[in-house]
Each structure stands twice: as C-alpha cells, then as structure tokens.
Structure 1
Amino acid sequence: MEKAVIFVRITMNSREMKFSKIAAFVACVALLSSCDYQKYNHKEQKDPNANNQYVYGVSPDSLPRQMANKYEANPELEPRVEAIRAKLYGGSGSAVVKQ
C-alpha cells in the first residue's frame, strides 16, 4: 500500500508573487477609499425656503415667525389625545410641555 504524501509549496514563483502584490494593493486601496463612503451618499437639494424668515426666523438663533401662532386648547380633544398617547407610549401623562 502506498502512502499518500502531501506536499505544501511554501515558495511562490515571480508570477504568483506579482499577482499577490497587486491583489493586496487593490484591497488596500478599496479599504482606504471606503473611509469616506457616506460622504457623497446624499443628494444636494436647493432649499426653497432658504431666505424665508417665516420658516427660519431672522437669524439662526431666533424663533421663526410661524412659532408666534397660538392656538386655543380644545378640551374635547384631550381624552382622544391621551388615549393615543397611552397607546403609543404605554402610559398616561403629557410628554409635551404645556405653555
């Protein structure tokens, strides 16, 4: 009975060495280029309300003018609002600060 002998070749010829170097270089470039992967993953859109003081206010630190609208509380809607809040958040109590 003949014994099966397994030879493991440790050395590479120049063609295989060149291929492995190129493959390693391509892999390194792919890994390093993926660092900024999400940088361009969005669409630039023009804001139609860019200079609208009603939406954004006079300055970045100020409140918009549309926040000045005050609405009267409707007591008929309170039970419905509380029921929806209890269903969504699993409890009662106001999560909204009342002014």
Structure 2
Amino acid sequence: MRKLSVLAFAVVAVSLASCKYQKNNVIEQNDVRKGDEWVYGVSPDSAARQLKNKYTARPELEVEANKIREKLYGKTGA
C-alpha cells in the first residue's frame, strides 16, 4: 500500500511539474524576415504574398507519389 501511494504521489508531482514545461523551453530570436510582405503579408490580418502562387495540376505526379507511398507503407486496404 505504501509503494502505491508513493508511486501515485510521484506521478501527480511529475504531471503538475510538466504543466509549465513549455513556458521555460523557449528562446528569444531575432526575426530576420520581420516586416517582409512575402512572408507575412501587408498586414497581420492579410495572407502572405507567397500563398497567392497557383500551380497547374499534374496527375502524373500523383501516380508517382502513390507508387512511392505504396513502396514505403505497403498497400493500404479500405
């Protein structure tokens, strides 16, 4: 019984300690692209200019991607 209560206390302590883990796991870095319209758009509410690129569909690439996917993961049956 004593081992169980110690184990339960340890689990609770670790889970409570991990709640703020990501708050301490940060690093301040300078944003070299700050203000760049290509990445961030004209304003914070607008889409980035690079998202406006549209590409034509090429079905032969989908076939090739499916071959690679099948080779990596095997056949997936539904």
If the TM-score is normalised by the length of the shorter chain, which range does it land in? 0.5 to 0.7
How much has 1:81 moved relative to structure 2? Answer: 2.4
TM-score when normalising by structure 2: 0.53
Q: 2:47 aligns with which of 57, 63, 87?
A: 63
Which of 50, 53, 59 is the matching residue for 2:37? 53
Change (3 A) 1:38 1:79: closer
TM-score by length of 1: 0.44
- 1:63 deviates by 0.9
Aligned-residue RMSD, C-alpha: 2.8
- Gaps (5+ residues) in structure 1? 1-33, 93-99
When Rg is computed on C-alpha atoms for both structures, the one with the higher figure is 1
| Cα shift readout 1:4-38 (whole Å, capped 9, x = no counterpart) | xxxxxxxxxxxxxxxxxxxxxxxxxxxxxx67554
The structure whose RCO (Cα within 8 Å, separation 6+) is larger is 2
Select the structure that is richer in helix. 2
User: Percent sequence identity over matched residues?
Assistant: 48
Tell me which amino acid in the other structure corresponds to 1:47.
D
Distance 1:71 1:37, change over 3 A: closer
Structure 2: any 5+ residue segments left out of the alignment?
1-16
Moved more, 65-74 or 36-45: 36-45
Instruction: Give aligned pairs, total.
Output: 58
* Distance in 1 of aligned mates of 2:25 and 2:69: 36
1:43 aligns with 2:48: no
